[in-house]
Amino acid sequence: MGAEKGRSEEILVPAGYARAFAVRKGGFFTVTDVEGGQIGDLVAFNADDLSEKLSPSHTRLGLHSIKFRVGDALRTNLRRPMMEIVEDTVGTHDMLIPACDEQRYLVDYGVEDHRSCVANFEEVLAPWGLSRAQIPDPLNIFENTAVGPGGELVHLPVLSKAGDRITFRALMNLVCAVSACPMDLNITGGDRITDLVVTIEHGD
């Protein structure tokens, strides 16, 4: 699970599942939508102090926006810059929606035993000693949401096409996890669940 210097690594995130990985400060990681229309939930932790985490709410205030763009730095719960957006071929991502969990499928759709991003994160982050209670709100890569004139939260179709990607530069040592969201019951996840690929370029 440790990052190695000066090499790249490609991790397949199978449809509906998650993978965790480490990126050292100065390294890069890219999340690519293999077939298009797939949301990737991202959570990240300071590898040197796992109580410090990527925080959508602190990022929103730091940027004075509910959206981010290339050049922006995403913040932690301690308001420190954690990762910088260095490339983004889509430009529509979400920082408002919590990760799906069992209750989302049960309460809102009456479906039991559905896979979920929270359960996925719990599974893949266990080797770092992280429990469900420590998992923060995610950044939802490629998820397309908007706020209506009356403050309505609007779900829109995912715009990413095959090969679309977003690249982050690590501003601290990171432990990250990406879940290829298994939501298949509304417009959020498109008509089917597909793979993502994470490519890590380890820094010097």
Footprint of Zn ion (CB under 5 A): 100, 117, 181, 183
Q: Which residues pair with 78 in a beta bridge?
A: none
CB of 36 to Zn ion, least distance (A): 17
CB of 138 to Zn ion, least distance (A): 8
Q: What's the rounded Cα separation, in Å, for the pair 89 and 81?
A: 22
CB of 117 to Zn ion, least distance (A): 3
Nearer to Zn ion, 42 or 83 (CB): 42
CB of 171 to Zn ion, least distance (A): 26
Nearer to Zn ion, 52 or 143 (CB): 143
Nearer to Zn ion, 139 or 183 (CB): 183
The secondary structure element, H or E, covering residue 104 is helix 102-109
Q: Which residues pair with 84 in a beta bridge?
A: 73, 169
3 state DSSP class of 110: coil
Q: Do residues 18 and 121 touch, judged by C-beta distance below 8 A?
A: yes
Tally: H helices and E strands in the chain: 3, 13
Q: What's the rounded Cα separation, in Å, for the pair 44 and 34?
A: 22
Nearer to Zn ion, 22 or 183 (CB): 183
In sequence order, the 6+-apart residues with CB closer than 8 A to the CB of 141 are 31, 39, 40, 41, 42, 93, 166, 178
Nearer to Zn ion, 18 or 174 (CB): 18
CB of 140 to Zn ion, least distance (A): 8
Local structure of residue 189 (DSSP, 8 states): G
